[in-house]
Structure 1
Amino acid sequence: MNAMTFSLRRLGRKALACLCALACLVSLAACGSDAEAGKIRIGIKFDQPGLGFKKSGTYVGFDVDVAKYVARQLGYSEDEIVWKEAPSKQREAMLQNGDVDMILATYSITDARKNAVSFAGPYFVAGQDLLVRKDDTSIKGPEDLNGKRLCSVTGSTSATTVKEKFANEVQLMEQPGYAECATALFSGIVDAVTTDDIILAGLASASRGKLRVVGKPFTQEYYGVGIKKGDKAFAKKINAAIESMIEDGSWQRAVAENTKGTGYKPNAEYNPPKPTEGE
């Protein structure tokens, strides 16, 4: 064996070792995704009482109930759902990156968002409203916002609406979640929290009577199921599931159960909606 042959064999062994090491890394990565194989990954909010809320390792709320129903209609049992937190400003990226299969997280259907993702639904129509402290009578509707301090969530349509409609009248504080907004309201840092009425109803319920919804909605927010852009076949299946949920009464029961004690009733002019988006 000459020196060149020996060197080539050594290089071959090194290359083989590198390939083996790479294969091991790939295998480990695959093992990490094995836990989600054969399951459906659904993005929801973890911090919205009444809609999407993580509670002692379980998930509850109207969005969660709709997601479970849709998943069941798609052939997935409850233990085949992987729940993932979907903060407002991360929703488009989660769908584009393939981190989730669908998102039900008070996700309003807008033309701007449809440039990045597609939607099924809508499965609910909310209206932007105001949440105030129980004893505050100075805010009876959006006409009373001049000089007031508002809180909403970064990346939400509610924050965008405030900037567009009330930019010269209010001071807007943006927070990562509505729990932080509610805390700011409790402590007097802001005068009101603004977002969709059904979200505010959940926050009011969790406050045990310390906060109340004004009850003067000034927009319509069509909640959709976010999916990867262009997947019309998936949208059609989801829409059929939502239609079935409305027809068999499960939708109505889910709304009632998740807003119990708040006095909240969805606007009957728009609800329940006709799910035709994305087909």
Structure 2
Amino acid sequence: MNPLRTGRSLTAAAAAVVLSLTSVGFANAGVPRDHGEDEITVGIKFDQPGIGLKTPDGTYTGFDVDVATYVAEELGHDPSDIVWKEAKSADRETLLQRGDVDFVAASYSINDERAQKVDFAGPYLLAHQDVLVRADDDSVKQPSDLNDKKLCSVTGSTSAQNVKTELAPDAQLQEYGGYSECLTGLENGVIDAVTTDDSILAGYASQDEFKGKFKLGGFEMSNENYGIGVQKGSDLKEKIDTALRKMVADGSWDAAVEKNFGPAGYRNEPAPEIGVVVK
């Protein structure tokens, strides 16, 4: 028997097995297959209950996690091979521009300034800016009541700036590294109100440790169209849009909303039309 021929046969057989595996379902994961890599890296929030949360046991939960997992599967990647990377609000564009992540699904509101730096698939959720205050605080009945209040949001978020420039110019803006820090400040009385999207605030308010301590103001101060960020000019945008349309059509979107927001009684908007940003 010719050893060289035998080696070639074994190599060909191994290649055939690999090709067979990659053609079935989501056997392979990683960046899109034409990149030739084994993993796909996705930026999410690590500290937003109901949206994107890294739990003490090292698992990840939340609506953005479920959306990103569905999209990754539609791109041909197994969930077990997704590498989750923390994408803080101030870092999202940088992560994409440097190629540290393949896409970002991190309560990432689409706006003109960001769209100059990255491309957005979606939107896949329409949220509204709101405020969270202590349950016994009846002093904030409308957005203008935030004047002279200590208002907290996170560095890089548009939420606090929206309030300060348009609704309550005399609010004392405090920017922290994460919403968990804002919640601690609110609980301790150092902060009077926390502002961000109602979906995020509802997730925090529903946590066991915070139940009964906070309440939503119920203000719809802005439309926040959550999109999935990709590098400028990336062909992933169209592929992700296709995946999102399928997620809505097959009922997976509704299931993810109920799973992540239902326990908090959050009244979500219907699934937005992919490609249409609500102003």
If the length of structure 1 is used for normalisation, what is the TM-score? 0.82
Structure 1 CA distance for aligned equivalents of residues 276 and 237 of structure 2: 7
1:77 and 2:78 are equivalent in the alignment: yes
Structure 1 CA distance for aligned equivalents of residues 142 and 115 of structure 2: 31
> Over residues 33-61 of structure 1, what are the superposed CA-to-partner deviations in whole Å (9 max), with x where a residue is unaligned?
xxx93111100000000000001110000
Query: Counterpart in 1 of 2:239?
Result: 237
Structure 2 CA distance for aligned equivalents of residues 166 and 214 of structure 1: 14
Q: Is the 8 A contact 1:108 1:224 kept in 2?
A: yes
1:208 partner amino acid: K
Query: Counterpart in 1 of 2:186?
Result: 185
Q: Is the 8 A contact 2:159 2:196 kept in 1?
A: yes
What SS does the aligned partner of 2:112 have?
coil
> Over residues 101-139 of structure 1, what are the superposed CA-to-partner deviations in whole Å (9 max), with x where a residue is unaligned?
000000011110111111111000110001011111111
Deviates more, 1:196-205 or 1:166-175: 166-175
Query: Counterpart in 2 of 1:7?
Result: none
Q: Aligned-residue CA RMSD in angstroms?
A: 1.6
What SS does the aligned partner of 1:221 have?
strand
Count of aligned residue pairs for this structure pair: 239
Q: Is the 8 A contact 1:235 1:277 kept in 2?
A: no
- Identity, % of aligned pairs? 53
Structure 2 CA distance for aligned equivalents of residues 168 and 159 of structure 1: 10
What SS does the aligned partner of 2:126 have?
strand
What SS does the aligned partner of 2:147 have?
coil
Structure 2 CA distance for aligned equivalents of residues 212 and 66 of structure 1: 27
- Bigger radius of gyration: 1
1:48 and 2:48 are equivalent in the alignment: yes
> Over residues 146-184 of structure 1, what are the superposed CA-to-partner deviations in whole Å (9 max), with x where a residue is unaligned?
221110011011122123214632101000110000001
Q: C-alpha displacement at 1:143, in angstroms?
A: 3.0
Q: Which residues of 2 match residues 246-257 of structure 1 at below 5 A?
A: 246-257=248-259
Q: C-alpha displacement at 1:252, in angstroms?
A: 1.0
What SS does the aligned partner of 2:262 have?
coil
Unaligned runs of 5+ in 2: 1-35
Query: Counterpart in 2 of 1:96?
Result: 97
Structure 2 CA distance for aligned equivalents of residues 212 and 129 of structure 1: 11
What SS does the aligned partner of 1:252 have?
helix
Structure 2 CA distance for aligned equivalents of residues 216 and 256 of structure 1: 22
Q: Is the 8 A contact 1:130 1:141 kept in 2?
A: no
Q: Is the 8 A contact 2:41 2:101 kept in 1?
A: yes
Q: Is the 8 A contact 1:42 1:82 kept in 2?
A: yes
1:275 and 2:274 are equivalent in the alignment: yes
Alpha carbons of structure 1 residues 277 and 75: separation in structure 2 relative to 1, 3 Å: farther
Structure 2 CA distance for aligned equivalents of residues 40 and 223 of structure 1: 21
What SS does the aligned partner of 2:267 have?
coil
Structure 2 CA distance for aligned equivalents of residues 168 and 70 of structure 1: 40
Structure 1 CA distance for aligned equivalents of residues 248 and 126 of structure 2: 13
Structure 1 CA distance for aligned equivalents of residues 161 and 187 of structure 2: 23
Q: Is the 8 A contact 1:119 1:277 kept in 2?
A: no
Structure 1 CA distance for aligned equivalents of residues 226 and 71 of structure 2: 15
Structure 2 CA distance for aligned equivalents of residues 256 and 149 of structure 1: 33
1:124 and 2:120 are equivalent in the alignment: no
2:47 partner amino acid: D
Q: C-alpha displacement at 1:63, in angstroms?
A: 0.3
Q: Is the 8 A contact 1:201 1:262 kept in 2?
A: yes
Query: Counterpart in 2 of 1:22?
Result: none
Q: C-alpha displacement at 1:145, in angstroms?
A: 1.5
What SS does the aligned partner of 1:75 have?
coil
Structure 2 CA distance for aligned equivalents of residues 208 and 41 of structure 1: 34
Q: Is the 8 A contact 2:147 2:172 kept in 1?
A: no
Deviates more, 1:112-121 or 1:193-202: 112-121
Unaligned runs of 5+ in 1: 1-35
